[in-house]
Amino acid sequence: MSFGFSRVALRFALAALMLVSLTLLPAFGDEGLFLPDSIASLPMDRLAQRGLKIKASDIYNPAGGGLADAVVILPGGTGEFVSAEGLILTNHHIAFDALVAASTPQHDYGTDGYVAHSRAEEMKAEDFTVQILQSMSDVTNEVKSVVKVDMPTEERNRAIEQKIHQIEFEATNGHQSEGISAQVLPMNEGLSYYRSIYQVLRDVRVVYAPPKNIGFFGGDPDNFEWPRHCGDFTFLRAYVGPDGKPADYSAQNVPYKPKKFLSLSMAGVREGDFVFALGYPGTTTRYRESYSVTYNQDIYQPFVVDLFTSQVEALEEIGRNDPAQRVKLQGKIFELTNTIKDYEGSILALRRTNLVEQKRAQEAAFTRWAGENTVRTAKYGQVLPSLAQAYQNYQTTALRDLIVTQIWNASDLFAIANFAQRVAEARERPNPNPNLNQIVQRVRAQAVAALAQRNSVVERTVLTLLFRKAAELPATQRIAALENRFGNLPMDARRRAESEFARQLVESQRFSSTESVIHLLEMTSAQLRDMHEPLLDFTSAFASEDDQAEERTERFNNTLARWRPLLIEGMSEMRGVKFYPDGNRTLRFTYGEVRGYVPREAILYQPFTTLSGVIEKDTGREPYDVPERLKQLYKARDFGPYALADRADVPVDFLSTLDIIGGNSGSPIMNGQGLQVGIVFDGNYEGLGNEFFYNETKQRAISVDIRYVLFIVDKFGGAGYILRELDIHDMPAQRAAA
C-alpha cells in the first residue's frame, strides 16, 4: 500500500553502445522518474501522439504556475492541493497515523473514519507537516567547486558535505519565520546535485477520512494485489497564521491559499489512455552494481522480513490483551506488514528475473567496452575491480554488523545510557566542553519524547531474536560482548539466558519511568558504575561493537562513493543514454498509459474494478466487511453522477504503467489535459523489486478513480459540502442533475 515500487533493470542494447550523443530517454517502455527540469527534454511530440494535450511548461515551470506547484510532500507520501482553500487530497494510509494519534478506545478514527461538518470541526493531524516546493535548481558546479584533483575520498566527502550545509544555510538564513527549509541531495550517486527549497506548514487538519473498511478495504490480503477495491483517500487542510505565515495549531489560524491547485475530471479513463503523475518517490537503486543486488537479495531483505515479522507478532499479541494498545498500535502494524510483503515480493522478483546475472552480464560488457581504448581504461578500468574488492572485504562482516546495529537500535534506552556514560566522562575531564550542558539539555528533550513512545514488550522480542541470530553467526564472526556472557552455555540454556537478559535490559524496575532514565544524565561515572545495572554494563561493553561496525560501514561507503558515480557515468556513456536519476524523495514526473497485465499463464487482469467487485468480496468480517451504508447505496443503485456511462456501476480502482515507488503514495494521476482522474496508492505484487529494476510487462501502479473518491465523500460520507470547493470538469449535465 505504501508500496515500495518501481525499480529498473539496466538492459543493454548492443546496437547503442557506439552512440556518442546522449539523449534523455527512458531505457524502454514507460520507465522513468524524471526531474522536473528535464520534462521539456523528453520526446514531447511522441507524448502528444499518445495523448498529452498540454505543454511541458504547463506541467512544470521554474517561474511558477505549473501543475507541479500543487503537489506537496506529506509524511510518508505525496499530496496535492485541490482547492483555493488549502484542501489537500492524499491517501488514507498516509493520513492513518494522524487518525490513530487522535483516537481513543471510545473514538477509533482509524477504524471508523472522520467527518468534519464545518471548519471548526476539522481535526488536528498530530505531527503532520506539508512541504511546498518553492524552487528546485541544479547546484552541481557549486557543490563540486570544493573538490580538488586527486583529493582523498574521505576528505572529498567531508568537503562536499560542508559545502552542502553552507548552501542549505544560505538558502534558509533569515527566512525561518516563513517556514523555509532547504535540502541539497545528490543525483545518481553524486554525479550531480540539486537544491530544493520548501515552505513547511505545521498546522494540518483532517477534513474527511473514510472508515478503514473503505480506506483499507481488503487489508493485508489485498495489499500489493490486483484486483483491488480500496478507497484509499483522505482530505486534509493546511492552515497558516492570520499573517499568512506558517504557525503551530491555533483556532485563530486561517486556511492556506496555494499558488496552484488541481482541477478534477469526471470523464474517467479508458484502457490505452495516456496518463502522468507528479510526486515525491522514495529511494530507488537501479544503477547499482551486481554486488549490491546480491547483498539485498540474500542478506539485508531476508533479515528485515524476519525481524519485522517478530515485531508484528509481538504487537498483535499486545493488542489482543489491551484494547487501548490495539488502537494505538494499528498504524505501526500496518507499516511493518507493508514492508514485509514488499520485501518478500522483492526477493522473489529479483530471483525470478535473475537480476544478479543480468547485472553481471552488463558489467562484463562494460569491462570489454572500457578496455577498447586507453582513455576509457584509464578512466573506468578500476571501477568494477575496486567495487568487487570493497564488497569482498565488507561481506565478511556484513551480517554481523547488521545484527550489531539492529541490537544497538532495538531500544532508545541503550543510546541514552551510553550518552549518560560519555557525558559523565566528559564532565570529569580537565577542560570540559563549555557547550556540554546545552548539549545535554537538547538530548534530554529528545530523550523524553523518545521514551514516551517505547514499548518494552516489542523491544524484548526484537532483542531476543537478534541475540539468537548473533549466536548463529560463524564462530569467527561472533560478537564478543555477547559471547562473553552466553558463549559457554549449551544452546537451550543459552536461549533461555538470552531471553531473560533481554527482559532485564528493557524492563528493569529501576528504569520504569522517564524520570529515572533521564536522571542518568546527572550522575557521575562512579555513581553509574556503582549501580551494577545490566543496562549500563551492557551499553558500556556493546558501544565499542557498534562503533567498530559503524567505522567499517563508513569505510565501505567511502569506497562506494568514489567508484559508483564513475560506474554510472561510464554505463551512460557506453549506452549513449543520459540516465534519469534514482528516486530520492525529490519531485519527479512519470508517464504511462492505462493498461492491464498477465500475472501468469492463462490469466489476464483487466485494468478496472467497480463497486460490484466490492460487494462480491463482502464477507461481513474484516478486512472484507463492506459498510452497511455502502451496500444500501449499491442495492438502490443510488450512484448519483459518479456512475459509469451506462449507469450500471461505480468505478473504483484502475491500473497504469506509471513508474512509481514508495513515496508516490498520494500522487495525483492526471489525464492528457492535466486534470486529475485518480490518486496513486499501491503497486502490484508482480511488479515488486522495482526499487532495483522496472518491469514493463508486469509492473503496474494502482490508483483510486477520482469518481469513487467523490462518490464516497458525497453519497456515503454525507460530506458533499467538500465538493463545492473543488473545480470539477467533465460532468454531463444530466448526470449532475441526477
Helices 534-575 and 355-370 cross at an angle (nearest 10°) of: 50
pLDDT computed for residue 105 by the predictor: 84
Residues 190 and 117 occupy one common structural domain = yes
Structural domain contains residue 24: no
Confidence of residue 330 (pLDDT cuts 50, 70, 90): confident
Residues 243 and 308 occupy one common structural domain = no
Residues 561 and 598 occupy one common structural domain = no
Confidence of residue 337 (pLDDT cuts 50, 70, 90): very high
Residues 574 and 598 occupy one common structural domain = no
- Sign for the pseudo-dihedral over CA of 312, 314, 320, 323: negative
* Amino acid sitting at position 5: F
Strand 264-265 to 728-729 pairing: parallel
Residues 606 and 710 occupy one common structural domain = yes
Residues 602 and 568 occupy one common structural domain = no
- Total tally of structural domains belonging to the chain: 4
Residue that finishes a domain, picked among 559, 578, 597: 578
Helices 301-321 and 323-353 cross at an angle (nearest 10°) of: 160
Q: How far apart are CA 500 and CA 84, in angstroms?
A: 58
Q: How far apart are CA 684 and CA 656, in angstroms?
A: 11
484-504 residue pLDDT tens: 999 999 999 999 999 999 999
3-state SS class at 198: strand
Measured between alpha carbons, how far apart are the two ends of the chain, in Å? 34
Structural domain contains residue 34: yes
260-292 residue pLDDT tens: 999 999 999 999 999 999 999 999 999 999 999
Average pLDDT estimate for 338-351: 95
Q: Which domain holds residue 339?
A: 291-381
Cβ-count burial 192-229 (b if 16+ within 10 Å, e if not): bbbbbbbbebbbbbbbbbbbbbbbbbbbbebbbbbbbb
C-alpha cell at 266: 469526471
DSSP code, position 575: H
DSSP code, position 607: S
549-576 residue pLDDT tens: 999 999 999 999 999 999 999 999 999 9
Alpha-carbon radius of gyration of the chain = 27
582-602 residue pLDDT tens: 999 999 999 999 999 999 999
Structural domain contains residue 145: yes
Q: How far apart are CA 93 and CA 338, in angstroms?
A: 11
595-641 residue pLDDT tens: 999 999 999 999 999 999 999 999 999 999 999 999 999 999 999 99
User: Are 234 and 208 in contact, with CB atoms under 8 Å apart?
Assistant: yes
Residue that finishes a domain, picked among 242, 262, 282: 262
pLDDT computed for residue 29 by the predictor: 61
31-64 residue pLDDT tens: 999 999 999 999 999 999 999 999 999 999 999 9
Nearest to residue 226, comparing CAs of 216, 236, 218? 218
Ramachandran quadrant class, 640 (left: phi over 0; alpha: psi -120 to 50; beta: rest):
left
Average pLDDT estimate for 436-462: 89
Q: How far apart are CA 381 and CA 370, in angstroms?
A: 6
Structural domain contains residue 699: yes
Residues 249 and 318 occupy one common structural domain = no
Confidence of residue 735 (pLDDT cuts 50, 70, 90): low
Q: Give the phi and the psi of residue 359 in degrees, each rounded to 5.
A: -60, -40
94-126 residue pLDDT tens: 999 999 999 988 899 999 999 999 999 999 999
Cβ-count burial 11-26 (b if 16+ within 10 Å, e if not): ebeeeebeeeeeebbb
Residues 210 and 61 occupy one common structural domain = yes
pLDDT computed for residue 326 by the predictor: 85
E strand or H helix at 439, and its extent?
A: helix 436-452
Structural domain contains residue 17: no
Alpha helices in 241-321 (DSSP H): 290-295, 301-321
Structural domain contains residue 551: yes
C-alpha cell at 65: 504556475
Residues 679 and 730 occupy one common structural domain = yes
pLDDT computed for residue 334 by the predictor: 87
**For the chain, what is the mean pLDDT?**
92
Residue that finishes a domain, picked among 318, 349, 381: 381
Structural domain contains residue 49: no
Confidence of residue 232 (pLDDT cuts 50, 70, 90): very high
Confidence of residue 734 (pLDDT cuts 50, 70, 90): low
Give ∠ CA 360-362-366 in degrees, rounded to 5: 110
Structural domain contains residue 241: yes
Nearest to residue 613, comparing CAs of 208, 225, 234? 225
Residues 548 and 685 occupy one common structural domain = no
Q: How far apart are CA 321 and CA 328, in angstroms?
A: 13
Nearest to residue 587, comparing CAs of 275, 12, 133? 133
Q: What is the pTM of this model?
A: 0.90
Residues 537 and 665 occupy one common structural domain = no
Residues 152 and 197 occupy one common structural domain = yes
